[in-house]
Copies of this chain bind each other. A is one copy, B any other.
Amino acid sequence: MEKPYVLGIDMGGTNTKFGIVDARGNVINSSSIKTQLYTDINEYCDVLCAEMMKLVDAAGGIELVRGVGAGAPNGNYYTGNIEFAPNLPWKGIVPFAELIAERMHVPCRITNDANAAAMGEMTYGVAKGMKNFIMITLGTGVGSGIVIDGKVVYGHDGFAGELGHTKIERGESARLCGCGQKGCIEAYASANGVARTAKEWLAKTDRASLLRQLPAEEITSKDVFDAAMQGDDMAKEIFEYTGRLLGTKLADFVAFSAPEAIVLFGGLTKAGDILMEPVVKALNENVMPLWKNKIKVLFSTLKDSDAAILGASALVWDVDAQAPMSK
């Protein structure tokens, strides 16, 4: 009998979420652990696998599980390794697929978190039926999953689709990014980027803003959004600025793969129209005439938590896949 379940892992810099998923894309049961609690990768895998086994046992046992799919920052689809992830506690190269497979006794396949989200979106979300789209994840950082002709692009080395680390600023004033480079769009259009813009603008001017009621160092993108919703001009302008930079960069991505749509996903998309409007405006101002007003920009329709787990699980269902599974 075909095994009816797969496990999906969505590893983030803060939380690791995981769930058991059936072939129809229902997340039967899910849970999470704190990624940052475990500075030793072996300890992290021990706890993660023990927690996953609880879900597995409740669903009828490991015999019913076909494998594990994981979305992880800098996860390499070809090797099964997590390689030099700047936002994770483990440095260098971590053979994650192997570590999970040997603990769970089922095969494991990994990709990066944004590619997993793109697979989730293509299989169950707003990109269903699309063969060419780009998923941009706007969370703590900016990630991306690029789908061309119905397939996620992995490139020569398995690391394609790092659009958060394309450059929007050059020169002295460009912000330093977590990746070590300067001027990456991730340093501007992520949740962290929005908070950073707020702190910079508050320090640089003495303009009135509701944000001045908060300790500057603790300001988050949510605070900026809340202030904007209360009509705060500076907060609104911060989203305008963020959206404009992101939209300008999206125009570059359109010139690359001419997608049918760009799907925005992740925490920052909760800002809604005050982000979407400047994004769409800047996109259309910066694409070639042939693409003006032709590229759909959509918010993901999947719940944050489910998209990545579902997408990761889709790695296991995907029988045409190019990469070997770690067993």
| Residues of chain B with a CB closer than 8 A to A131's CB | 156
**Cβ A252 vs Cβ B167 within 8 A:** yes
Cα A253 to Cα B251 in complex, Å, equals 13
> Is A170 part of the contact surface with B, judged by Cβ < 8 Å?
yes
**Cβ B156 vs Cβ A258 within 8 A:** yes
* Distance in Å: Cβ of A94 to nearest Cβ of chain B: 14
Within 8 A of B (CB), among A282-310: 286-291, 294
Considering the complex, give the chain B residue whose CB is closest to the CB of A146: B256
> Is A314 part of the contact surface with B, judged by Cβ < 8 Å?
no
Listed residue (A170, A259, A288) with the most chain B CB atoms within 10 angstroms of its CB: A288
Interface size on A, residues (CB 8 A): 44
**Cβ B166 vs Cβ A256 within 8 A:** yes
**Cβ B181 vs Cβ A257 within 8 A:** no
**Cβ B155 vs Cβ A132 within 8 A:** yes
Considering the complex, give the chain B residue whose CB is closest to the CB of A84: B290
| Residues of chain B with a CB closer than 8 A to A257's CB | 146, 153, 155, 160, 256
Within 8 A of B (CB), among A178-203: 179-181
**Cβ A289 vs Cβ B252 within 8 A:** no
Top 4 A-B pairs, shortest CB-CB distance: A155-B258, A160-B258, A166-B252, A156-B260
